[in-house]
Amino acid sequence: MNYGRFIRIVEGHGFAFHRQGRGSHCVYRAIIAGEVRLITVSTHRPGEDIKPGTLDAVIRQSGLPKKLFR
């Protein structure tokens, strides 16, 4: 999965840009199942692929079902 597609999915499920994190990271925020969730995403070009381990970690942070990202 590439960064552009990942961002479209999380924004479509209630996440919005919250702030610029340290260095080249962006923080997105949403309320999922009554909890405030923050995900930190490295800012890459939209067409660049996300490494599998990084993708798993960010999906866990989001609290969204993994099947959305397949």
pLDDT, one tens digit for every residue, the chain (70 residues): 999 999 999 999 999 999 997 788 999 999 988 999 999 998 888 889 999 999 999 999 999 999 999 8
41 with 21: CB under 8 angstroms? no
Q: How far apart are CA 13 and CA 30, in angstroms?
A: 8
Domain that holds residue 32: 3-63
* Crossing angle of the two packed helices 3-12 and 52-62, in degrees rounded to 10: 10
Q: Taking the mean position of all CA atoms in its chain, how far away is CA 31?
A: 13
What is the number of domains present in the chain?
Answer: 1
Question: Residue 10: what residue type?
Answer: V
Q: Do the domain assignments include residue 47?
A: yes
In a domain, 42, yes or no: yes
Does a structural domain hold residue 68?
Answer: no
- Considering the domain boundaries, does residue 53 fall inside one? yes
- Is the residue at 7 inside a domain? yes
Domain for residue 70, yes or no? no
